[in-house]
Structure 1
Amino acid sequence: MTLSPLTSPLLEGVTHGFFTRAGGASTGIYEGLNCGTGSSDQREVVAMNRARVADIMGVEALAGVHQVHSATAIVVEDVAARPRADALVTDRPGVALTILTADCQPVLFADRAAGVIGAAHAGWKGALDGVLEATLDAMEGLGADRGRVRAVIGPSISQRAYEVGQEFLDRFLDAESDNGRFFANGVDGKYQFDLTGFGLARLRAAGVAEAEWTGHCTYTDAERFYSYRRATHRGEADYGRLIAAIRL
């Protein structure tokens, strides 16, 4: 099976893809294109999967970060380095920026006129703390204009699958009372959180030209996507990681 990355018309003209499980060499609970070096999958198999992605992206190596659910965005200086951060930007042609996810939002950014791109890992904590805005700030440091930036959120957990408790809701309300609009009543006193709706709202409030979510839910589509929450509910020992990539 060949790799089947999802793309967005908002990023037309920039090489990019939100990769699915298709075309990978991993087996068992990781079956497919597991690109997570932090998983317990066989290292050589993960390396093979990542090499396939690099080939599709037209590069020898993939730039990434050691993701820690922070609001830190870095400018890529060394493709081989893995600094602790959750977003990375570049203006260098031929550098493929990558983010790993398994329910959190993978967000790809591009200002084609300036020749600046970015990629962010935006789970609830990173998004609440400002990782999307930090990515735009870092892009502007390289000459981008957020008023020209197009941003796309890839496969993420959808609201119908994201059940949270009162403490989670309170944390968002403490940050901004208007955040209540991203929560719907669930069952047994729980709530359903709209992570991608929250991400889109933050991007638009930050002043991007356009923003969209691809509309794919990681939790409900096990054939195409890995999901941390689904793996937890199934009692599985680990889970694979999806990769999103972008390059000039």
Structure 2
Amino acid sequence: MGVAVAGRSGLAAHPAAPGPRGVYRVSTRAHDWLIPDWPAPVRVKACITTRSGGVSQAPYDSLNLGAHVEDDPVAVSKNRQRLVSQLGCQPAWLSQVHGIGVVRAEPARVVEADASWTTTPTVACTVMTADCLPVLFCDRAGSRVAAAHAGWRGLAAGVLEVTLDALDCAPEQVLVWLGPAIGPHSFEVGAEVREVFVGAHANAVGAFVPSANAGRFLADIYQLARIRLAARGVTAVHGGGLDTYSDPRFFSYRRAPRTGRFASLIWLAD
């Protein structure tokens, strides 16, 4: 394995030590991003941006890629252009609504959905988050990829399952990587959230621990995702363990409601 650097044709591997929690850091003068460390086919490329490398001003500093927040639209456009120039792919942006809509990735237009898939080289399935869970998918043959935005509502409603349906692969042929999300020591929820997940999968009870506040729980969104994927026969699940709330590299809505969005992208090399 190696650290990946951006280039016109995608990501190329160069010897380097992996960073913690299943990712490699990609640091240049322009940015400090992450590359998943997982056994995906060579043709499958992926990248997770951080706050660094953009032109947005506080509180959206600096690489805010979310066009729906109150940032300067010109700055967001410049940030997105920088992303394309660094990665050499075509991001297919979504208008995310915390639902379970899944569409074929189309760079030419912004579609309302929370997941996308593609078999087209250089088209990047792209989701934006700031505490919600980004989930990247590929098949072992390296012929199709997908990405899903999974907040707790979308996760409970089945966004991962509908993404698997759209990917149209046998469960044993699917690889999954869980990107940076709010961690289990930071994600406090009410009893009603716990009931939704436990009602669907009894073993989800282990993903909730009583918090210091009466009637509330700390939830492990990574474990909840793994449970739902396993219920569909998908067990080759990698990543997880980062905490957007406590890690200043990432935007976090719970830490600061006026904030930007970072992106998780996956695509097929040409």
The two structures have a TM-score, normalised by structure 1, of 0.90
Q: Does 1:23 align with 2:53?
A: yes
Is residue 243 from structure 1 mapped to residue 263 from structure 2 by the alignment?
Answer: yes
Q: CA deviation at 1:121?
A: 0.2
Identity of aligned residues (%): 37
Q: Per the alignment, in what secondary structure is the counterpart of residue 30 of structure 1?
A: coil
Deviations 1:108-160 (A, max 9, x none): 111141500000001111111111111111011xxx33312111011100010
Q: What residue in structure 1 maps to residue 210 of structure 2?
A: 185
Find the partner of 2:66 among 29, 36, 46: 36
Tell me how far apart the structure 2 counterparts of residues 171 and 192 of structure 1 sit (CA, whole Å): 14
- The AA in structure 1 aligned to 2:64 is N
User: For each residue in 1:33-55, what CA deviation from the matched residue of structure 2 results, as whole angstroms up to 9, or x when unmatched?
Assistant: 11000011111111111111112
Letter in 2 for 1:26: S
Unaligned runs of 5+ in 2: 1-28
Residue of structure 1 equivalent to 2:171: 146
Answer yes or no: is the 8 Å Cα contact 1:69–1:126 preserved in 2: yes
Gap change, CA 1:106 and 1:84, over 3 Å in 2:
same
> How far is the alpha carbon of 1:245 from its aligned partner?
0.7
Distance 1:146 1:55 in 2: 34
Instruction: Sort the Cα spacing of 1:175 and 1:204 in 2 relative to 1 into closer, same or farther, 3 A.
Output: closer
- Counterpart of 1:6 in structure 2 is 34
Return 78-87 or 27-36, whichever deviates more.
78-87
Flag the structure with higher strand content.
2
Larger deviation: 5-14 or 44-53? 5-14
Q: Quick check: which one's helix share is greater?
A: 1
Q: Distance in 1 between the 2:199 and 2:226 partners?
A: 20
Say whether residues 1:208 and 2:208 are aligned partners.
no
Measured in 2, the distance between the counterparts of 1:174 and 1:198 equals 12
Please tell me whether residue 155 in structure 1 is matched to residue 146 in structure 2.
Answer: no
Kept after mapping to 2: 8 A contact 1:15/1:57:
no
The TM-score with structure 2 as length reference comes to 0.83
Tell me the matched-pair count.
237
> In the alignment, is the contact (CA less than 8 A) between 1:109 and 1:149 conserved in 2?
yes
- Aligned partners of 2:117, 2:203: CA distance in 1, in Å? 30
Deviation at residue 63 of structure 1 after TM alignment: 0.4
Matches within 5 A, 1:90-239: 90-113=118-141, 115-140=143-168, 144-189=169-214, 190-208=216-234, 210-222=236-248, 224-232=249-257, 238-239=258-259
Other-structure match for 2:102? 73
